[in-house]
């Protein structure tokens, strides 16, 4: 039997009416405004289910606020700067088999069109059109007059202004910077270059220099404060070690590290020279000096030490690291005389250095015993480690044994202590990947230090203090993510803001460099306001001067001076400024949780650096990911479910309903065919029920006095409406849907 509900007919009808009426074209008026933005999509593929979730959440909030009487601005642009689009164009031009298959079969690009997308410009033009078409199909209430791409000449003017002003505030500095690097290709690698390890990040470790006679055995750690609790080092007897001459900043030392670590050191900002092989047995059982305490510690054998991790030598903190405690305990009854070790390891005393509210003196020992962890190989050892580290990081305070650092929070000490360790030559910084990266050519990648690089000085304490103040005034949804943001601000280091290759804007004070793609997508929300006037033809490229941006965005200067500088009518300059004052600040920035440690942080840093406090962002909302039948989606490798294909098959309302009802806030969602088929049946039933109610209303005598049952039903319905409003205010879309459909 043919269904009454025909989504494509209904949706096409209303989308046409919205376009013709310009109903979502927001202009300043006397109503209270609500300015919501979401991340503009990157155009190296069609929009997929992950975009669908984030964008639909933004659209639901925008529509709800309109229903509450707000004047809502919900704009959209397109992100195209960086290297991925350049890399994709190169892969298409070379007819890379995997790329051609994924983009034709999964992205749905016709076979006669795909080969023509062999330049970055053609890719941008194609996906810009496809992205807007898909977002219109699903019915997003976007003001399309404000769209732009990040390579538009006018947008580049805006970015140049931003970086000139940041440079004047000394927030951009020059130095060396670690990058992902393929030794075979002798080039940096971006996501499109990577075969495995796309999610890997560069992590900053501290190398602690333990000394034995004239050599250094460096150990990499993420928590340098634990050096005060080291009882021994771990050396793998089956690993190949080498002795190398290492020179940095005029200091020459001889290091012993694994052969893998030696290779990595050659790509750092050190001068490194191979001296000789070192048998592992010769560095087991020796007594080394702890550089922060001066105490002697012994090196012990451990098969779990991996040569590719850090230096291939690991420091042991058994009071606070369950694995170290278990490894040490496992050696108590082992004959180590072949290493020249005859002492009773039971006499090694655990050293407590962190006070943790939930634990006693030795957290690692305590949790191992309480959980009944039997050995290093017990799966519960990993869980025990996570519990101890999490509680120490979030609630731990350093004890008296750490000297001048006593009383410092564990979460705040790393930067301070690392700086002191470096200044005393007790430690150095060392960069590693969070997971292995393999280039498409098959070569294992390394972290390479590029010299003469430009950085955003995110480690600046005054800058961070402003971000903390901004966060303290903001609403964070869900609320528990406030700690996540604060911790990420704590850990954020200086970040490279420029590169040599790709699409983008030239650094205005050093034209050899292009501004990095995350660096040019921080305050673009303010550009949406200007884009409206560019679209109308009121502004030309030449009129976008520094004085224009200073006045419109910062209120500096006056309309007459801007008019003299640009040739613009002073009244137009005042009008653009009035629009900015009306719409700013951003009332809500809604985004995926993967952007918390990068884009969302940079969004806050740049706003507090450039704008006055009244124009700082007011709220941030974070949502989870979307997988496809249990598999992670990938634009370049698949699997992928495009937004357009979902709407074409199921309709906009069913797609929206399903994607918002499968998970809440930061929970991850999984798109299952069985689930969306169920959602389709639910919408069919609701549509039929609504038609029956409408028909019964036509036949009913509406002038009749309400009975008790009528008033009860109205009361129940109002309660569901109230609960729906509460849920939507908290961006709990699943809860809102459940309450809304309860009315039926």
Domain boundary among 379, 403, 433: 433
- Check whether residue 210 and residue 164 sit in a common domain: no
For 207, phi then psi, to 5°, come to -90, 120
User: Within this chain, do residues 220 and 120 fall inside the same structural domain, yes or no?
Assistant: no
Task: Report the number of distinct structural domains present in the chain.
Answer: 2
pLDDT interval class at 1 (50, 70, 90)? very low
The whole-angstrom separation of Cα 174 and Cα 62 is 42
Residue 742 has pLDDT above 80, yes or no: no
Same domain, 208 and 119: no
Instruction: Report the alpha-carbon distance of residue 483 to residue 469 in Å, rounded.
Output: 14
Kindly report, residue by residue over 411-437, the tens digit of the pLDDT: 989 989 999 999 999 999 999 999 999
Spatial separation of the C-alpha atoms in residues 391 and 196, rounded to whole Å = 32
In a domain, 681, yes or no: no
Give pLDDT, residue 502. Answer: 86
Please count the other Cβ atoms lying within 10 Å of the Cβ belonging to residue 297.
19
> In this predicted model, what pLDDT tens digit does every residue of 104-114 receive, in sequence order?
998 999 999 99
pLDDT at 397 over 60: yes
For position 189, what pLDDT does the model report? 80
Question: How far is it, in rounded angstroms, from Cα 20 to Cα 379?
Answer: 62
> Which residue range forms the structural domain that includes residue 97?
7-169+518-632
Residues 85-108, mean pLDDT to the nearest whole number: 92
Do 399 and 357 lie in a common domain?
Answer: yes
**Per the domain annotation, does 641 fall within a domain?**
no
pLDDT of 338 strictly over 60? yes
Q: What is the rounded average pLDDT for all residues in the chain?
A: 93
Q: 């205005």: which residue's tokens?
A: 508
State the average pLDDT over residues 286-312. 96
In this structure, the answer to whether residues 364 and 215 fall within a common structural domain is yes
The answer on 218 and 336 residing in a single domain is yes
Q: Is 82 part of any domain?
A: yes
| Same domain (yes/no): 319, 406 | yes
Domain boundary among 433, 459, 484: 433
Task: Please tell me whether residues 304 and 411 are part of one structural domain.
Answer: yes
Identify whether 394 is part of a domain. Answer: yes
Distance CA 452, CA 499 (A): 11
**Per-residue confidence at 83, pLDDT binned at 50, 70, 90?**
confident
Q: How confident is the model at residue 699 (pLDDT cuts 50, 70, 90)?
A: low
Q: Reply yes or no on whether the pLDDT at 608 is more than 70.
A: yes
Cα-flanking dihedrals φ and ψ of residue 162, to 5°?
A: -60, -45
DSSP-derived secondary structure letter, 584: -
In a domain, 483, yes or no: no
Which letter, b or e, does each residue of 338-369 get, where b requires 16 or more Cβ atoms within 10 Å of its Cβ? ebebeeebeebebbbbbbbeebeebbbbbbbe
Pairwise pLDDT comparison (627 vs 558), residue with the higher score = 558
324 in the same domain as 378: yes
Claim to verify: residue 209 and residue 122 sit in the same structural domain: no
Neighbours of 612 (CB within 10 A): 10
Task: Please tell me the least confidently modeled range out of 130-144, 408-422, 450-464, 632-646.
Answer: 632-646
Q: How confident is the model at residue 683 (pLDDT cuts 50, 70, 90)?
A: confident
Q: Examine the domain organization and report whether 239 and 350 are in the same domain.
A: yes
Q: For 543-587, how does the pLDDT look when each residue is reduced to its tens digit (9 = 90+)? A: 999 999 999 999 999 999 999 999 999 999 999 999 999 999 999
pLDDT at position 743 over 60: no
Gap between the Cα atoms of 729 and 731, Å rounded: 5
Of 183-197, 440-454, 483-497, 519-533, minimum mean pLDDT range: 183-197
What is the distance between the alpha carbons of residues 141 and 136, in angstroms, rounded to a whole number? 8
CATH classification of the domain holding 91: 3.40.50.620
Q: Residue 178: left (phi > 0), alpha (psi -120 to 50), or beta?
A: beta
Residue 495 lies in a domain: no
Model confidence at 69: pLDDT above 70: yes
Shared domain for 235 and 338, answered yes or no, is yes
Give the pLDDT band of residue 636 (cuts 50, 70, 90): low
The C-alpha angle 630, 80, 516, rounded to 5 degrees, equals 100
Question: Contact at 8 Å (CB) between 639 and 683?
Answer: no
Model pLDDT, residue 259 = 97
Q: CATH number for the domain including 233?
A: 3.90.740.10
What confidence score (pLDDT) does residue 578 get? 98
- Domain end point (choices 632, 647, 674): 632
Please check the confidence at residue 29 and state whether its pLDDT lies above 60.
Answer: yes
Task: Say yes or no to pLDDT of 50 above 60.
Answer: yes
Q: What pLDDT score was predicted for residue 161?
A: 98
Residues 245-268, mean pLDDT to the nearest whole number? 96
In a domain, 51, yes or no: yes
- Ramachandran sector of residue 525 (left: φ over 0; alpha: ψ -120 to 50; beta: rest): alpha
Q: Evaluate if residue 3 carries a pLDDT over 60.
A: no
- Residue 219: φ, ψ to 5°: -125, 130
Instruction: Classify residue 463: in a domain, yes or no.
Output: no
């Amino acid at each position: 039997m043919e269904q009454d509900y025909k989504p494509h007919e209904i949706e096409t009808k209303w989308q046409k009416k919205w376009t013709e009426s310009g109903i979502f074209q927001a202009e300043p008026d006397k109503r209270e405004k609500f300015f919501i933005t979401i991340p503009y999509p990157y155009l190296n593929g069609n929009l997929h289910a992950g975009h669908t979730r984030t964008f639909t959440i933004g659209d639901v909030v925008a529509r709800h606020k309109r229903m509450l009487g707000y004047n809502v601005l919900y704009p959209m642009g397109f992100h195209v700067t960086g290297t991925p689009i350049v890399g994709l164009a190169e892969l298409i031009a070379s007819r890379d088999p995997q790329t051609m298959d994924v983009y034709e079969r999964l992205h749905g690009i016709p076979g006669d069109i795909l080969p023509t997308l062999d330049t970055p410009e053609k890719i941008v033009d194609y996906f810009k059109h496809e992205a807007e078409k898909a977002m219109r199909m699903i019915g997003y209430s976007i003001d399309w007059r404000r769209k732009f791409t990040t390579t538009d000449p006018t947008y580049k003017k805006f970015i140049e202004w931003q970086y000139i002003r940041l440079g004047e505030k000394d927030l951009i500095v020059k130095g060396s910077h670690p990058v992902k690097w393929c030794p075979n290709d002798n080039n940096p690698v971006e996501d499109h270059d990577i075969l495995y390890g796309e999610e890997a990040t560069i992590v900053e470790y501290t190398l602690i220099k333990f000394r034995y006679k004239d050599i250094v055995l460096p150990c990499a750690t993420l928590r340098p404060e634990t050096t005060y609790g080291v009882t021994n080092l771990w050396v793998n007897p089956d690993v190949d070690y080498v002795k190398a001459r290492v020179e940095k900043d005029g200091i020459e030392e001889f290091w012993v590290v694994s052969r893998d670590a030696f290779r990595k050191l050659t790509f750092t900002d050190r001068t490194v020279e191979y001296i000789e092989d070192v048998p592992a047995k010769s560095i087991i059982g020796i007594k080394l000096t702890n550089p922060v305490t001066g105490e002697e510690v012994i090196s012990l054998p451990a098969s779990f030490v991996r040569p590719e991790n850090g230096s291939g030598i690991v420091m042991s903190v058994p009071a606070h690291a369950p694995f170290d405690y278990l490894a040490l305990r496992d050696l108590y009854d082992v004959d180590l005389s072949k290493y020249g070790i005859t002492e009773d390891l039971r006499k090694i005393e655990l050293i407590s250095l962190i006070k943790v509210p939930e634990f006693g003196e030795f957290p690692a020992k305590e949790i191992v015993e309480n959980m009944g962890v039997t050995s290093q190989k017990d799966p519960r050892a990993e869980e025990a480690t996570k519990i101890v580290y999490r509680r120490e990081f979030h609630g731990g305070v350093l004890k008296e044994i750490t000297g001048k650092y006593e009383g410092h929070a564990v979460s705040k000490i790393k930067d301070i202590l690392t700086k002191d360790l470096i200044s005393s030559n007790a430690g150095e910084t060392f960069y590693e990947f969070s997971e292995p990266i393999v280039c498409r050519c098959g070569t294992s990648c390394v972290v390479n230090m590029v010299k003469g690089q430009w950085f955003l000085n995110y480690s600046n304490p005054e800058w961070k203090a402003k971000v903390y103040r901004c966060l303290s005034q903001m609403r964070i949804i869900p609320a528990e993510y406030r700690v996540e943001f604060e911790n990420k601000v704590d850990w954020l280091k200086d970040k490279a803001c420029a590169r040599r290759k790709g699409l983008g804007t030239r650094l205005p004070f050093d034209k050899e460099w292009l501004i990095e793609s995350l660096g040019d997508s921080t305050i673009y929300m303010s550009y949406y306001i200007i884009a409206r006037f560019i679209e109308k033809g009121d502004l030309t490229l030449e009129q976008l001067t520094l004085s224009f941006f200073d006045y419109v965005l910062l209120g500096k200067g006056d309309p007459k001076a801007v008019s003299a500088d640009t040739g613009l009518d002073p009244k137009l300059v005042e009008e653009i400024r009035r629009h900015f004052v009306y719409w700013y600040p951003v009332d809500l920035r809604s985004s995926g949780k993967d952007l918390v440690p990068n884009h969302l942080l940079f969004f806050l840093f740049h706003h507090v650096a450039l704008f006055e406090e009244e124009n700082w962002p007011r709220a941030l909302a974070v949502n989870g990911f979307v997988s496809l039948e249990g598999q992670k989606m990938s634009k370049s490798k698949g699997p992928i479910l495009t937004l357009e294909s979902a709407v074409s098959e199921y309709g906009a309302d069913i797609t929206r309903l399903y994607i918002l009802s499968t998970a809440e806030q930061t929970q991850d969602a999984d798109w299952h065919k069985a689930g969306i088929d169920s959602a389709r049946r639910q919408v069919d039933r609701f549509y039929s029920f609504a038609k029956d109610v409408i028909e019964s209303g036509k036949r009913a005598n509406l002038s009749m006095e309400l009975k008790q049952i009528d008033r009860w039903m109205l009361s129940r319905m109002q309660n569901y409406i109230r609960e729906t409003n509460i849920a939507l205010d908290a961006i709990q879309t699943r809860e809102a849907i459940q309450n809304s459909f309860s009315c039926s």
